Structure 1
Amino acid sequence: MSVLNQASPSTVLPAAAATPRPSACPGLLRIVAARDGGICRIKLPGGALSATQARAVADASTRHAAGVIELTNRANLQVRGVRNGHEAALNALLVEAGLGPTPAAVPLGHASAAANLALTSSADDVRNVMISPAAGRDPDALIDTTPLCAELLALLQSETRFAALSPKFALLLDGGERLARVDHPHDVWLAATQADDGVRFVFGLAGCPPVGRAATTGSTGSTGSASAQRTSRASHLPHANGTLALATVQPAQVAALVRALLHTFIDLASADATRMRHLLAAHSVDTLLEHAQRYVDFPLSRDASLADWQRSTPADAALRLGAHAQRIPGTWQVGGQPPLGRLDAAALHELATLAQRHGNGTLHVTPWQSVLLPDLATPVVPNVLAELNALGLACDPTQAIAHLIACAGSTGCAKSLADTKADALQLATRLSAGVDVHLSGCARSCAAAHCAPYTLLAAAPGTYDLYRRDGQAGFGQCVAHQLTIAQAADLLDQLARSYPDA
């Protein structure tokens, strides 16, 4: 290995290794208070959760919290309603189940228990790598990203200097799957592309892989419905205010590239810069690449030929629901979405049983707040679908509830102006199929990392302002004020007919 790969980090932030960045985000060990109790966030490697771990989460949430488990838009879990005084016991059960950072990521022998706790918490915080929930199984993928995901997670936890990264700092590793969430802005994104010498990874900063119209209007798999096509068209986004494609690297170079970019961020970021977009506001792309070059022995200069690069594989969120064939003939994945991304402990137990009885003993949480059971044999698919439906999960993309997301609302969050969960359930009974709507109790938009086609922003209990995405910053254009849920449903139906590509 070249000495360039072993370049020492700059001393611009000399205390970074010893001083984790403070955060108000929930974590495994950092339980954040909310109106309905504490919130404990469990980061899942690649969204994967073993049946044994699922049972551990369900049992821990019953014993030490309210028995409510949320699926997040980063393919993680949250235990809500953690009881006061039960935090340590909950943490212990989750760590024992293997749901914390890898033991090797936490150095031993530090001066105090507080120092060890801080290092454990920071090692947990940096585990932010998103891949497709169908990685390794998607028939259209260019590469299986699961080994690379594991390599990146190990890298993120291996250097204590990375404790300086915000818990929101995140990476996207896109293997070209059809089932892919490519509209969430990430600090670093890498997307597989077919090159003359095989599969390479295009990369960019502070945004999303550029997605062309052709990549979002393709067939919608086995659903084939007009509503699913609207969902696909609605996912069309540009690069979401980040960079376009900058250069390509070979798969074997991905970890080294990410390491170089992380050290570059820490070297150059000011104390109040938490995300890559903040660094780009202060430094040019070329400056960042030149700085990162000191850490690697392959070229990182910008490739002008990639200026028009776009992801060509059609991305179809509808594939998260129902039954779809996997890459290996005779195997299937079956997906369902709990209403508004929430499960109770009993339902999580049942999902674990289904995964063990019919699949490979693993559940895959998706960034659409749904769950996949992979590696099912053809004969068991109808039974698994029936059992998911019996648990109350939506398995059909034409179901309105599958197109709604909502924050915790006023029952769980003091900042929310409305009970968004209850209002969303009411909206689902009136809304036409295929209209994607985000209900947010305040302007922070905690439930959606992407810009939804339509957003209902709470103005008062049961009253919302309606926004339509139109390329403007934030939620888009405000098209109506002070709507009740019934009025919002009527107007959303009208807008969906008038603006089918919204």
Structure 2
Amino acid sequence: MPQPPSAVTRDEPVIRDRGDACPGALRLHAADDGFLARVRIPGGLLTAPQASALGLAAERFGDGHLELTSRGNVQVRGLSEGCGAGLAQLLDSAGLLPAPGHERVRNVVATPLSGQGQPGRPDVLPWVRELDRLLCANARVTALSGRFLFAFDDGRGDVAALGPDVTVLGRPDGRALLRLGPADGAVAVAGDDAPRAALAAAEYFLDAADAAGTRAWRVRELPAGHALDEAEFAVRLAAAGIAAAPVAAAHRPYSAPPSPGWTGGALCVLPPLGRLDAGQWRALSEVAARGGSGMRITPWRTVVVPGAPSDGPARLAAAGLAVTPGSRWENVTACTGRPGCAKALADVRADAAAAAERARGPLPVHWSGCERRCGHPQGRAWVDVVATGPGYALSVHGRPVPDHPDLTAALAAARSTPSEEAEAPSATQ
């Protein structure tokens, strides 16, 4: 099983001359297959009516497909020019645009199985909802990059391993640890104060970024002289009425993402390559509606359905979704590739699908149409397959794999690299 990062290093400071161009639900991105909208889903939490609204948006305005992202968000592709107002109205009516000025900064991931009968683990989802409310009411945080990431982890260490900018790690005693970027230390606060503390952490970052003058998007991009400090953060929290205590070397738990199938009373569903057509999304929405608790989009491009009915797996399997462990699609991801992306050098989705059956292995694999590696895995060792034009270049966490005439055989061997030989990477996106 892939292990958590053994050591996290700070990236070199980045000096930027512009703001980020991350798409949103209102700021559409022009792609080769039409415009793209990215709808932020804090914590991945979708009600059944909201899920139905997203499906309607894809059918009415887009190409009929929905894509899951590595931030637990949902993308609609193939949008026509001039559909922005209609799309925004539909999303707003479903409660998916609670604050239009904040929609790109609502990047929050959460343990998807939180609250599902794990003794000793807090349910972090109420904390997610409260942070979202606080974000939407705070004018200062609109200056955050669309790449800034919050993570609420119930203590098992799944989303905490994704390289967040602000990590909230629940503890059995009801308290929470807040980690700032890749720091070893953390700050302990009461669980009820965790959402306010997470917001304060974002404001602390913005102050440091303003002082640095480098227009940093992420905590790890701050120059060393402006790095965030746990002791100073604790003082800031105290001034805001939040009791806090620095923790010099906070524990880093790790848990692998949920696999397709049942975990307790929740069903984990894997759409091939994180993409669903209208029929598949409709089937998933209907199963979630019958479960009564909506669905949770995960940062691993899966969907968790709490309380799914007993016939849910059969219904979803018939629609072409993986609902049992061992699927050939497990741990296989890909960027959009051709023809949707102008920068792509290959149809990576088609090539990934062709190799999925034979090139199985424990390590995740991500297919990229170019060197940007959009949407690659975070926090785990992974096999990198990058289109070069004439073919593909393979590497396992930065170590090139020798050229081989049979790409699929080489990929299968790379995915079987023992995890102890493949250093787990620090997040780079």
TM superposition score normalised by structure 2 = 0.86
Aligned counterpart for 2:215 among listed residues 272, 293, 296: 272
Question: 1:137 and 1:125, CA in 2 relative to 1: closer, same or farther beyond 3 A?
Answer: same
Contact 1:410 1:441 in 2 (8 A): yes
Aligned counterpart for 2:251 among listed residues 309, 315, 320: 309
Aligned to 1:455: 384
Query: Once the 2 structures are TM-superposed, how far is the Cα of residue 282 of structure 1 from its aligned partner?
Result: 3.3
Query: Once the 2 structures are TM-superposed, how far is the Cα of residue 298 of structure 1 from its aligned partner?
Result: 4.6
Write out per-residue CA displacement over residues 80-127 of structure 1, whole angstroms, 9 at most, x where no aligned residue.
1101222221221111121112xxx4xxxxxxxxxxxxxx2x311121
2:193 paired with 1:253 = yes
Question: 1:51 and 1:256, CA in 2 relative to 1: closer, same or farther beyond 3 A?
Answer: closer
Query: Once the 2 structures are TM-superposed, how far is the Cα of residue 308 of structure 1 from its aligned partner?
Result: 5.7
Question: 1:418 and 1:140, CA in 2 relative to 1: closer, same or farther beyond 3 A?
Answer: farther
2:330 paired with 1:408 = no
3-state SS in 2 of match to 1:92? helix
Aligned to 1:388: 316
Question: 1:356 and 1:279, CA in 2 relative to 1: closer, same or farther beyond 3 A?
Answer: same
Write out per-residue CA displacement over residues 36-75 of structure 1, whole angstroms, 9 at most, x where no aligned residue.
1111111113212222222222122112111110011111
3-state SS in 2 of match to 1:402? coil
3-state SS in 2 of match to 1:144? coil
2:174 paired with 1:199 = yes
Distance across 2 between alignment mates of 1:497 and 1:65: 38
Distance across 1 between alignment mates of 2:417 and 2:61: 49
Aligned to 1:44: 41
Distance across 2 between alignment mates of 1:297 and 1:177: 29
Aligned counterpart for 1:244 among listed residues 184, 201, 223: 184
Aligned counterpart for 2:107 among listed residues 115, 118, 128: 128
2:423 paired with 1:479 = no
Contact 1:140 1:177 in 2 (8 A): no
Write out per-residue CA displacement over residues 274-319 of structure 1, whole angstroms, 9 at most, x where no aligned residue.
2111225332443753773574335656333xx26232xx5132x3
Aligned to 2:270: 337
Question: 1:290 and 1:399, CA in 2 relative to 1: closer, same or farther beyond 3 A?
Answer: closer
Contact 1:138 1:177 in 2 (8 A): no
TM superposition score normalised by structure 1 = 0.74
Distance across 2 between alignment mates of 1:174 and 1:336: 20
1:81-480 paired onto structure 2 within 5 Å:
81-101=78-98, 105=99, 120=100, 122-140=101-119, 142-177=121-156, 180-194=158-172, 198-206=173-181, 242-269=182-209, 270-279=213-222, 281-286=224-229, 288-289=232-233, 292-293=236-237, 295-298=239-242, 302-304=246-248, 307=249, 309-311=251-253, 315-317=255-257, 319-325=258-264, 332-357=265-290, 359-360=291-292, 362-376=294-308, 380-381=309-310, 383-450=311-378, 452-460=381-389, 463-469=391-397, 476-480=398-402
**Structure 1 gap ranges (5+):** 1-20, 106-119, 207-241, 326-331, 470-475
Contact 1:40 1:79 in 2 (8 A): yes
Query: Once the 2 structures are TM-superposed, how far is the Cα of residue 405 of structure 1 from its aligned partner?
Result: 0.4
Question: 1:370 and 1:284, CA in 2 relative to 1: closer, same or farther beyond 3 A?
Answer: closer
Identity %, equivalent residues: 34
**Structure 2 gap ranges (5+):** 1-17, 423-429
Distance across 2 between alignment mates of 1:139 and 1:337: 22
Query: Once the 2 structures are TM-superposed, how far is the Cα of residue 356 of structure 1 from its aligned partner?
Result: 2.2
Question: 1:284 and 1:56, CA in 2 relative to 1: closer, same or farther beyond 3 A?
Answer: closer
3-state SS in 1 of match to 2:307? strand
Contact 2:383 2:414 in 1 (8 A): no
Structure of greater relative contact order (alpha carbons < 8 Å, 6+ residues apart): 2
Distance across 2 between alignment mates of 1:152 and 1:192: 15
Aligned length: 399
Question: Letter of the aligned partner of 2:303 in structure 1?
Answer: V
Write out per-residue CA displacement over residues 132-160 of structure 1, whole angstroms, 9 at most, x where no aligned residue.
11121142561011111111111111111
Question: 1:353 and 1:33, CA in 2 relative to 1: closer, same or farther beyond 3 A?
Answer: same
Contact 1:135 1:141 in 2 (8 A): no
Question: 1:444 and 1:292, CA in 2 relative to 1: closer, same or farther beyond 3 A?
Answer: farther
3-state SS in 1 of match to 2:330? helix
Question: 1:308 and 1:261, CA in 2 relative to 1: closer, same or farther beyond 3 A?
Answer: closer
Contact 2:296 2:304 in 1 (8 A): yes
